[in-house]
Amino acid sequence: MPQPTPAPQQINIELPAELEAIYSNFAIINHSPSEIVVDFARLLPNIPKAKVYARIVMTPLNAKLLSKALQDNLAKYEEKFGEIRLPAEAGFEAHERAMGFKH
């Protein structure tokens, strides 16, 4: 006899009033056997330094679930607003330094 599927658990999310949004256009991703570490940074034109503003540490399982959630949300975004083209696809010159995420 098949097991009944448990009802999804509702989670109340608390967003503190003083929570500040942080803009990031660059991320460095590292890992160990038990953790994935993502450093979110801001890279500015003509400044050869990136400052890290947030570090997120998670399990590989949670990182994979985050990746799936991002993929799902990006697909919905593209359905609504059109394809997001990567710099290489958008015709950027090879000598231009692409800003973005690094792994």
**d(Cα 62, Cα 64) in Å, to the nearest integer?**
5
Model pLDDT, residue 95:
43
Q: What angle do CA 57, 58, 62 make, to 5 degrees?
A: 155
Alpha helices (H) in the chain, listed in sequence order: 60-81
Model pLDDT, residue 96:
47
Rounded to two decimals, the pTM is: 0.72
Tens-binned pLDDT, residue by residue, of the chain (103 aa): 677 777 788 999 999 999 999 999 999 999 999 999 999 999 999 999 999 999 999 999 999 999 999 999 999 999 999 999 988 765 555 444 555 665 5
**d(Cα 54, Cα 25) in Å, to the nearest integer?**
12
